Protein backbone atom coordinates (compact mmCIF):
# COMPACT_ATOMS: atom_id res chain seq x y z
CA UNK A 1 0.00 0.00 0.00
CA UNK A 2 1.34 3.42 -0.97
CA UNK A 3 0.16 6.87 0.02
CA UNK A 4 1.50 10.32 -0.79
CA UNK A 5 1.30 12.81 2.07
CA UNK A 6 -0.92 15.77 1.19
CA UNK A 7 -0.44 19.45 2.09
CA UNK A 8 -3.13 19.16 4.77
CA UNK A 9 -1.14 16.32 6.40
CA UNK A 10 2.18 18.20 6.43
CA UNK A 11 3.75 18.21 9.90
CA UNK A 12 1.80 15.34 11.45
CA UNK A 13 3.48 12.19 12.74
CA UNK A 14 3.29 8.89 10.92
CA UNK A 15 1.31 7.44 13.85
CA UNK A 16 -1.31 10.19 13.51
CA UNK A 17 -1.57 9.49 9.80
CA UNK A 18 -1.95 5.74 10.22
CA UNK A 19 -4.29 5.76 13.19
CA UNK A 20 -6.20 9.00 12.75
CA UNK A 21 -6.38 9.48 8.99
CA UNK A 22 -6.04 5.95 7.62
CA UNK A 23 -8.03 4.37 10.49
CA UNK A 24 -5.59 1.49 11.06
CA UNK A 25 -6.00 -0.45 14.29
CA UNK A 26 -3.27 -0.49 16.94
CA UNK A 27 -2.89 -4.21 16.26
CA UNK A 28 -2.28 -3.65 12.54
CA UNK A 29 0.23 -0.87 13.19
CA UNK A 30 2.07 -3.04 15.71
CA UNK A 31 2.31 -5.93 13.26
CA UNK A 32 3.73 -3.62 10.59
CA UNK A 33 6.28 -2.18 13.05
CA UNK A 34 7.78 -5.60 13.69
CA UNK A 35 7.75 -6.73 10.04
CA UNK A 36 10.89 -6.27 7.96
CA UNK A 37 10.21 -3.38 5.61
CA UNK A 38 6.79 -3.02 7.18
CA UNK A 39 6.72 0.79 7.28
CA UNK A 40 8.75 2.99 4.93
CA UNK A 41 8.81 6.66 4.08
CA UNK A 42 10.54 7.61 0.83
CA UNK A 43 12.00 4.11 0.64
CA UNK A 44 13.54 4.09 4.15
CA UNK A 45 12.32 2.15 7.17
CA UNK A 46 11.11 4.54 9.86
CA UNK A 47 9.35 4.55 13.21
CA UNK A 48 5.82 5.81 13.71
CA UNK A 49 7.25 8.91 15.41
CA UNK A 50 8.50 10.18 12.03
CA UNK A 51 7.20 13.67 11.19
CA UNK A 52 5.80 13.76 7.68
CA UNK A 53 5.96 16.43 5.02
CA UNK A 54 3.85 17.04 1.95
CA UNK A 55 5.01 14.84 -0.91
CA UNK A 56 6.46 12.08 1.29
CA UNK A 57 5.59 8.62 0.05
CA UNK A 58 4.45 6.23 2.78
CA UNK A 59 4.66 2.49 2.00
CA UNK A 60 3.08 -0.23 4.11
CA UNK A 61 3.98 -3.89 3.51
CA UNK A 62 0.49 -5.30 3.80
CA UNK A 63 0.90 -8.10 1.27
CA UNK A 64 0.89 -11.62 2.64
CA UNK A 65 4.19 -13.48 2.70
CA UNK A 66 4.99 -17.17 2.92
CA UNK A 67 5.58 -16.90 6.68
CA UNK A 68 2.05 -15.47 7.11
CA UNK A 69 0.27 -18.30 5.33
CA UNK A 70 -2.37 -20.33 7.15
CA UNK A 71 -0.51 -23.65 7.25
CA UNK A 72 -3.49 -25.49 8.71
CA UNK A 73 -5.74 -24.64 5.73
CA UNK A 74 -5.39 -27.43 3.17
CA UNK A 75 -5.94 -26.26 -0.43
CA UNK A 76 -8.86 -28.13 -2.02
CA UNK A 77 -10.63 -27.59 -5.33
CA UNK A 78 -14.23 -27.04 -4.28
CA UNK A 79 -17.24 -25.47 -6.03
CA UNK A 80 -17.62 -21.83 -5.02
CA UNK A 81 -18.81 -18.81 -6.97
CA UNK A 82 -17.16 -15.40 -6.78
CA UNK A 83 -19.51 -12.45 -6.49
CA UNK A 84 -16.85 -9.74 -6.29
CA UNK A 85 -13.07 -9.62 -6.02
CA UNK A 86 -10.33 -7.00 -6.09
CA UNK A 87 -6.97 -6.48 -4.36
CA UNK A 88 -8.54 -5.81 -0.93
CA UNK A 89 -11.66 -7.98 -0.73
CA UNK A 90 -13.18 -11.24 -1.95
CA UNK A 91 -16.90 -11.95 -1.78
CA UNK A 92 -18.13 -15.53 -2.32
CA UNK A 93 -21.48 -17.25 -2.60
CA UNK A 94 -20.99 -20.14 -0.17
CA UNK A 95 -23.01 -23.23 -1.06
CA UNK A 96 -25.07 -25.05 1.58
CA UNK A 97 -23.39 -27.82 3.60
CA UNK A 98 -20.00 -26.07 3.41
CA UNK A 99 -18.51 -24.76 6.69
CA UNK A 100 -16.85 -21.35 6.54
CA UNK A 101 -13.59 -22.39 8.19
CA UNK A 102 -11.88 -25.67 9.16
CA UNK A 103 -12.77 -27.38 12.43
CA UNK A 104 -12.77 -30.87 13.89
CA UNK A 105 -14.30 -33.16 11.28
CA UNK A 106 -14.11 -30.50 8.57
CA UNK A 107 -10.44 -30.07 7.74
CA UNK A 108 -10.61 -29.90 3.95
CA UNK A 109 -14.21 -29.18 2.86
CA UNK A 110 -14.65 -25.54 3.86
CA UNK A 111 -14.75 -22.16 2.17
CA UNK A 112 -11.26 -21.49 3.51
CA UNK A 113 -9.96 -24.63 1.76
CA UNK A 114 -11.55 -23.53 -1.51
CA UNK A 115 -9.99 -20.06 -1.33
CA UNK A 116 -6.62 -21.57 -0.35
CA UNK A 117 -6.75 -23.65 -3.53
CA UNK A 118 -7.36 -20.58 -5.70
CA UNK A 119 -4.39 -18.86 -4.05
CA UNK A 120 -2.18 -21.93 -4.56
CA UNK A 121 -2.97 -21.94 -8.29
CA UNK A 122 -1.58 -18.41 -8.47
CA UNK A 123 1.38 -19.33 -6.28
CA UNK A 124 0.28 -16.87 -3.61
CA UNK A 125 0.43 -17.36 0.18
CA UNK A 126 -3.02 -17.61 1.73
CA UNK A 127 -4.35 -16.10 4.94
CA UNK A 128 -8.06 -16.58 5.67
CA UNK A 129 -9.69 -13.40 6.98
CA UNK A 130 -13.50 -13.82 7.00
CA UNK A 131 -15.32 -10.62 7.95
CA UNK A 132 -18.62 -12.45 8.45
CA UNK A 133 -19.21 -16.15 9.05
CA UNK A 134 -22.12 -18.37 8.11
CA UNK A 135 -23.21 -21.63 9.71
CA UNK A 136 -22.25 -24.61 7.57
CA UNK A 137 -25.86 -25.15 6.48
CA UNK A 138 -26.54 -21.48 5.75
CA UNK A 139 -25.87 -20.60 2.12
CA UNK A 140 -24.94 -17.24 0.67
CA UNK A 141 -22.60 -14.30 0.96
CA UNK A 142 -19.29 -14.41 2.83
CA UNK A 143 -17.02 -11.37 2.75
CA UNK A 144 -13.29 -11.90 3.28
CA UNK A 145 -10.41 -9.43 3.47
CA UNK A 146 -7.31 -9.99 1.33
CA UNK A 147 -4.84 -8.13 3.55
CA UNK A 148 -4.46 -7.08 7.17
CA UNK A 149 -5.39 -3.43 6.61
CA UNK A 150 -8.59 -4.31 4.77
CA UNK A 151 -9.42 -6.80 7.53
CA UNK A 152 -8.94 -4.24 10.30
CA UNK A 153 -11.07 -1.65 8.56
CA UNK A 154 -13.86 -4.07 7.69
CA UNK A 155 -13.97 -5.56 11.20
CA UNK A 156 -14.42 -2.02 12.53
CA UNK A 157 -17.18 -1.33 10.00
CA UNK A 158 -18.90 -4.57 11.00
CA UNK A 159 -18.68 -3.68 14.70
CA UNK A 160 -20.15 -0.23 13.98
CA UNK A 161 -23.06 -1.70 12.05
CA UNK A 162 -21.95 -0.25 8.71
CA UNK A 163 -22.10 -3.59 6.89
CA UNK A 164 -25.73 -4.35 6.03
CA UNK A 165 -26.85 -7.95 5.52
CA UNK A 166 -30.14 -9.32 4.23
CA UNK A 167 -31.24 -12.93 4.62
CA UNK A 168 -34.13 -14.93 3.24
CA UNK A 169 -35.72 -17.76 5.21
CA UNK A 170 -38.63 -20.17 4.98
CA UNK A 171 -40.23 -20.49 8.41
CA UNK A 172 -42.94 -22.55 10.01
CA UNK A 173 -46.18 -20.65 10.56
CA UNK A 174 -46.67 -16.92 10.01
CA UNK A 175 -44.97 -14.25 12.12
CA UNK A 176 -47.35 -12.06 14.08
CA UNK A 177 -47.18 -9.20 13.31
CA UNK A 178 -46.07 -9.92 9.73
CA UNK A 179 -43.28 -7.35 9.96
CA UNK A 180 -41.38 -5.89 12.87
CA UNK A 181 -38.24 -6.15 14.98
CA UNK A 182 -37.44 -8.98 17.38
CA UNK A 183 -35.60 -7.33 20.26
CA UNK A 184 -34.51 -10.15 22.58
CA UNK A 185 -31.07 -10.70 24.18
CA UNK A 186 -29.26 -13.93 23.32
CA UNK A 187 -27.04 -16.03 25.58
CA UNK A 188 -25.36 -19.41 25.42
CA UNK A 189 -27.82 -22.15 26.46
CA UNK A 190 -27.09 -24.39 29.42
CA UNK A 191 -27.02 -27.43 27.17
CA UNK A 192 -23.83 -27.97 25.14
CA UNK A 193 -21.63 -25.33 23.60
CA UNK A 194 -23.51 -24.79 20.34
CA UNK A 195 -27.05 -23.88 21.26
CA UNK A 196 -28.15 -20.32 22.08
CA UNK A 197 -31.29 -19.06 23.77
CA UNK A 198 -33.15 -15.85 24.56
CA UNK A 199 -32.21 -14.76 28.06
CA UNK A 200 -32.31 -11.54 30.07
CA UNK A 201 -28.67 -12.24 30.92
CA UNK A 202 -27.69 -12.38 27.25
CA UNK A 203 -26.23 -9.78 24.91
CA UNK A 204 -28.42 -7.30 23.04
CA UNK A 205 -29.79 -8.85 19.84
CA UNK A 206 -32.18 -7.26 17.33
CA UNK A 207 -33.53 -8.69 14.07
CA UNK A 208 -35.74 -6.83 11.61
CA UNK A 209 -38.08 -9.05 9.58
CA UNK A 210 -40.72 -8.73 6.87
CA UNK A 211 -43.02 -11.55 5.75
CA UNK A 212 -43.24 -11.41 1.95
CA UNK A 213 -45.26 -14.56 1.17
CA UNK A 214 -47.48 -16.97 3.08
CA UNK A 215 -48.67 -20.41 1.98
CA UNK A 216 -52.38 -20.79 1.36
CA UNK A 217 -52.77 -22.96 4.45
CA UNK A 218 -50.76 -20.51 6.58
CA UNK A 219 -48.34 -23.21 7.69
CA UNK A 220 -45.23 -21.67 6.11
CA UNK A 221 -43.93 -18.22 5.24
CA UNK A 222 -41.14 -16.64 3.23
CA UNK A 223 -39.43 -14.00 5.35
CA UNK A 224 -36.78 -11.36 4.60
CA UNK A 225 -34.56 -10.63 7.62
CA UNK A 226 -31.97 -8.02 8.47
CA UNK A 227 -29.90 -8.66 11.61
CA UNK A 228 -29.20 -5.35 13.34
CA UNK A 229 -26.68 -7.04 15.65
CA UNK A 230 -24.41 -10.01 15.10
CA UNK A 231 -25.00 -12.81 17.61
CA UNK A 232 -24.36 -16.50 17.00
CA UNK A 233 -27.47 -18.16 15.48
CA UNK A 234 -29.32 -14.86 15.90
CA UNK A 235 -31.89 -15.30 13.13
CA UNK A 236 -32.53 -18.95 14.01
CA UNK A 237 -32.97 -18.16 17.70
CA UNK A 238 -35.21 -15.13 17.13
CA UNK A 239 -37.51 -16.87 14.65
CA UNK A 240 -37.92 -19.81 17.03
CA UNK A 241 -38.54 -17.35 19.88
CA UNK A 242 -41.55 -15.81 18.10
CA UNK A 243 -42.92 -19.27 17.31
CA UNK A 244 -41.73 -19.51 13.70
CA UNK A 245 -38.58 -21.68 13.58
CA UNK A 246 -36.81 -22.10 10.27
CA UNK A 247 -37.92 -25.08 8.22
CA UNK A 248 -35.36 -27.88 8.66
CA UNK A 249 -33.69 -26.35 11.72
CA UNK A 250 -32.87 -29.41 13.83
CA UNK A 251 -31.47 -27.28 16.67
CA UNK A 252 -34.29 -24.79 17.20
CA UNK A 253 -37.16 -26.53 15.41
CA UNK A 254 -37.52 -29.83 13.57
CA UNK A 255 -35.84 -31.59 10.67
CA UNK A 256 -37.70 -31.59 7.37
CA UNK A 257 -38.10 -34.23 4.67
CA UNK A 258 -38.17 -31.43 2.09
CA UNK A 259 -34.74 -29.92 2.76
CA UNK A 260 -31.71 -31.38 4.51
CA UNK A 261 -30.65 -28.16 6.24
CA UNK A 262 -32.21 -25.11 7.82
CA UNK A 263 -33.79 -22.88 5.17
CA UNK A 264 -31.65 -19.75 5.49
CA UNK A 265 -29.77 -17.88 2.76
CA UNK A 266 -27.57 -14.76 3.01
CA UNK A 267 -28.92 -13.01 -0.09
CA UNK A 268 -27.58 -9.46 -0.07
CA UNK A 269 -24.79 -7.41 1.50
CA UNK A 270 -23.78 -3.77 1.31
CA UNK A 271 -20.39 -2.73 2.67
CA UNK A 272 -18.02 0.26 2.46
CA UNK A 273 -14.89 -0.62 0.49
CA UNK A 274 -11.88 -0.64 2.85
CA UNK A 275 -9.71 1.32 0.40
CA UNK A 276 -11.91 4.32 -0.41
CA UNK A 277 -15.21 3.88 1.42
CA UNK A 278 -17.36 3.56 -1.71
CA UNK A 279 -20.50 1.52 -1.16
CA UNK A 280 -20.55 -1.94 -2.72
CA UNK A 281 -23.66 -4.13 -2.89
CA UNK A 282 -23.57 -7.81 -3.83
CA UNK A 283 -26.40 -10.31 -4.22
CA UNK A 284 -26.42 -14.11 -4.19
CA UNK A 285 -29.20 -16.01 -5.99
CA UNK A 286 -31.20 -18.59 -4.08
CA UNK A 287 -29.73 -22.11 -4.36
CA UNK A 288 -31.69 -24.92 -5.97
CA UNK A 289 -32.70 -26.65 -2.74
CA UNK A 290 -34.14 -23.39 -1.38
CA UNK A 291 -36.06 -22.69 -4.59
CA UNK A 292 -37.42 -26.23 -4.57
CA UNK A 293 -38.59 -25.79 -0.98
CA UNK A 294 -40.37 -22.54 -1.86
CA UNK A 295 -42.10 -24.23 -4.80
CA UNK A 296 -43.35 -27.04 -2.56
CA UNK A 297 -44.33 -25.04 0.52
CA UNK A 298 -45.07 -21.48 -0.56
CA UNK A 299 -45.81 -20.99 -4.25
CA UNK A 300 -47.50 -24.31 -5.03
CA UNK A 301 -50.05 -23.70 -2.27
CA UNK A 302 -51.03 -20.39 -3.92
CA UNK A 303 -51.90 -22.21 -7.13
CA UNK A 304 -54.14 -24.85 -5.58
**Distance of alpha carbon 94 from alpha carbon 83, whole angstroms:** 10
Q: What tens digit of pLDDT does each residue of 125-136 get?
A: 888 999 999 999
Highest mean pLDDT: which range of 35-39, 189-193, 195-199, 264-268: 264-268
Q: Is it the case that residue 117 has pLDDT exceeding 50?
A: yes
Bridge partners (DSSP) of residue 2 are: 59
pLDDT at residue 302 greater than cutoff 70: no
Per-residue pLDDT band for 114 (boundaries 50, 70, 90) equals very high
**Strand ranges across the sheet with 57-60:** 2-4, 57-60, 39-41, 44-45
The confidence band for 66, taking pLDDT boundaries of 50, 70 and 90, is: low
Average pLDDT, whole number, for the chain?
90
Domains of the chain by range and CATH?
2-61 (3.10.290), 67-159 (3.30.2350.10), 164-303 (3.30.2350.10)
From the list 135, 137, 147, 249, the catalytic residue is: 135
What is d(CA 35, CA 64) in angstroms, rounded to the nearest whole number?
A: 11
Which residue has better confidence, 280 or 59?
280
- Does residue 288 register a pLDDT over 60? yes
Pairwise CA distance, residues 251 & 85, whole Å: 34
Over 80: is that where the pLDDT of 268 sits? Answer: yes
135 is catalytic: yes
Asked if residue 65 has pLDDT above 60, the reply is no
Tell me if 259 sits within 8 A of 289, measured CB to CB.
yes
pLDDT tens for each residue of 38-64: 888 898 888 888 898 988 888 888 776
Amino acid sequence: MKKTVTASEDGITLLTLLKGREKLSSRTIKSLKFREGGIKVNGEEVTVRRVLHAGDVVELAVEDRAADASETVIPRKLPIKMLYRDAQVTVCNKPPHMPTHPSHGHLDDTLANALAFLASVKGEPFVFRPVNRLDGDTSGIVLTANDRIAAGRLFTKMKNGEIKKTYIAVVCGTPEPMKGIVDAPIARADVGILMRTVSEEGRVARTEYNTVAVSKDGKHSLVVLRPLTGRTHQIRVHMAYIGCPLVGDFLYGERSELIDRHALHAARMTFPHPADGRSITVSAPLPDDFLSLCEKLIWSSDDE
